[in-house]
């Protein structure tokens, strides 16, 4: 073999032996076999300048060298990779006798959210859209637009929190303000629900809290009657408490509906016989509702001669308390972990 080639081979083989990592081997391979500047690649390219005789012997020698180097690299690669596995096996060994590490506590959904999402699913399945509304509302949408003008006695029952220096802003006392906002934005026909947080200035006790949840519903279309309202609320009642649940409606005044009704369902615990949950009446009040008042439709930019609507407000917090047997409403906003971890 040509002296230079002999030398190249020696140096190359000892470089392979000296390599300490797979990356170093890659570098060597590139140095010899690299397409553009590899040492062997260059020599191969030079063959074309030799006479046919010389080219034959030199070509054979170069090929042998190439094979020898490739084999040396492959062998060394095997050794290096094998020892990398061995190192990993040693350092990453799992000690199966080690006691379990303390479990990291992962949060979960609040009972309010669980009930709210269940209702959202039910209403979307019936073609309702789900809207969000502002919790800090204008006095106009919270009261005036809902046929509750200033000085109307209905404002007394819904005292809330006002913002200093902003006489016209209130923490919304119900989700109903979204009725007029949605009518103004989308026009008729409409089918929507608005779940969300509401606020009232209450002297708190087991049944009253300054922060609670409602779910508002609104349908506007032509030929809407009270039977549509009852049909939808019966579907809600059956979804919540089973197919045998009955709904009872009785007249009740709300300024933004005419007629207004209050809706009760047969008690899920005693099926109407009377027990402690329904206070022996057999019925549970879970919503207020009615046919949308013409004044409210007008505020929403909808012609009451052409369209009618029904609206309802479900007390989500009340549903949560009934569902889980919670007897003190204040627990829900308390942030008390021993309470929350039960859900």
List the structure tokens of 91: 């350092």
Going by C-alpha positions, the residue among 116, 160, 123, 120 that lies closest to residue 316 is 116
Distance CA 312, CA 43 (A): 89
Distance CA 68, CA 48 (A): 23
* 32 vs 212 by CB, closer to ligand DAH: 212
Q: Which stretch binds ligand DAH (CB under 6 A): 95-103, 128-136, 310-318, 320-328?
A: 310-318
Q: Which stretch binds ligand DAH (CB under 6 A): 25-33, 61-69, 309-317, 329-337?
A: 309-317
* 65 vs 116 by CB, closer to ligand DAH: 116
- Least spacing, CB of residue 280 vs ligand DAH, in Å: 24
Going by C-alpha positions, the residue among 297, 55, 30, 39 that lies closest to residue 188 is 297
CB 23 within 8 A of CB 15: no
Decide: is 200 part of the binding site for ligand DAH (CB under 6 A): no
CB 135 within 8 A of CB 194: no
Show Cβ contacts of residue 4 under 8 Å, excluding neighbours closer than 6 positions.
Answer: none
- Least spacing, CB of residue 214 vs ligand DAH, in Å: 6
- Least spacing, CB of residue 103 vs ligand DAH, in Å: 42
- Least spacing, CB of residue 309 vs ligand DAH, in Å: 10
Helices (H), 132-215: 139-142, 177-186
Going by C-alpha positions, the residue among 266, 270, 271 that lies closest to residue 283 is 266
Q: Which stretch binds ligand DAH (CB under 6 A): 48-56, 79-87, 122-130, 282-290?
A: 282-290
- Least spacing, CB of residue 152 vs ligand DAH, in Å: 14
Decide: is 263 part of the binding site for ligand DAH (CB under 6 A): no
> 210: buried, middle or exposed (CB in 10 Å: 19+, 13-18, 0-12)?
middle
* 272 vs 313 by CB, closer to ligand DAH: 313
Q: Which stretch binds ligand DAH (CB under 6 A): 16-24, 205-213, 288-296, 329-337?
A: 288-296
* 257 vs 322 by CB, closer to ligand DAH: 257
Decide: is 311 part of the binding site for ligand DAH (CB under 6 A): yes
Distance CA 30, CA 44 (A): 15
Candidates 115, 257, 316, 322; binder of ligand DAH (CB under 6 A) is 257
- Least spacing, CB of residue 169 vs ligand DAH, in Å: 19
Going by C-alpha positions, the residue among 256, 249, 244 that lies closest to residue 229 is 249
Pairing of strands 162-163, 308-315: unpaired
* 72 vs 257 by CB, closer to ligand DAH: 257
Pairing of strands 166-171, 129-130: unpaired
- Least spacing, CB of residue 148 vs ligand DAH, in Å: 10
Decide: is 289 part of the binding site for ligand DAH (CB under 6 A): yes
Contact positions with ligand DAH (CB under 6 A) in 133-192:
174, 176
* 265 vs 289 by CB, closer to ligand DAH: 289
CB 254 within 8 A of CB 281: no
Cis peptide bond N-terminal to 259, omega within 30: yes
- Least spacing, CB of residue 206 vs ligand DAH, in Å: 19
Q: Interface with ligand DAH by CB under 6 A: which residues?
A: 174, 176, 216, 254, 257, 260, 288-290, 311-313
């Amino acid at each position: 073999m040509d002296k230079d080639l002999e030398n190249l081979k020696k140096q190359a083989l000892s470089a392979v032996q000296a390599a300490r990592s797979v990356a170093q081997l890659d570098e060597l391979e590139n140095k010899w076999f690299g397409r553009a500047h590899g040492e062997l690649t260059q020599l191969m390219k030079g063959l074309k300048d030799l006479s046919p005789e010389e080219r034959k012997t030199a070509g054979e020698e170069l090929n042998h060298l190439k094979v020898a180097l490739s084999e040396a690299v492959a062998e060394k690669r095997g050794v290096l990779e094998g020892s990398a596995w061995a190192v990993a096996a040693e350092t990453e060994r799992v000690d199966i006798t080690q006691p379990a590490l303390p479990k990291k506590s992962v949060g979960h959904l609040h009972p309010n959210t669980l009930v709210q999402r269940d209702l959202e699913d039910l209403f979307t399945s019936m073609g309702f859209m789900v809207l969000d509304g502002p919790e800090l509302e204008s006095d106009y949408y919270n009261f005036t637009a809902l046929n509750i003008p200033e000085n109307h006695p209905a404002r007394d029952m819904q005292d809330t929190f006002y913002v200093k220096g902003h006489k016209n802003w209130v923490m919304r006392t119900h989700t109903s303000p979204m009725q007029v906002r949605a009518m103004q934005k989308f026009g008729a026909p409409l089918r929507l629900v608005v779940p969300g947080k509401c606020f009232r200035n209450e002297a708190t006790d087991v049944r009253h809290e300054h922060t609670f949840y409602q779910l508002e519903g609104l349908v506007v279309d032509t030929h809407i009657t009270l039977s549509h309202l009852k049909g939808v609320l019966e579907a809600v009642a059956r979804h919540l408490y089973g197919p045998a649940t009955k709904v009872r409606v009785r007249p009740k005044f709300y300024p933004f509906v005419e007629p207004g009704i209050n809706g009760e369902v047969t008690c899920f615990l005693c099926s109407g016989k009377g027990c402690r949950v329904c206070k022996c009446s057999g019925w549970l009040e879970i919503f207020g509702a009615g046919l949308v008042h013409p004044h409210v439709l007008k505020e929403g930019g909808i012609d009451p001669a052409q369209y009618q609507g029904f609206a309802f407000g479900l007390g989500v917090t009340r549903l949560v308390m009934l569902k889980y047997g919670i007897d003190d409403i204040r627990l829900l906003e308390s942030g008390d972990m021993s309470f929350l971890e039960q859900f």
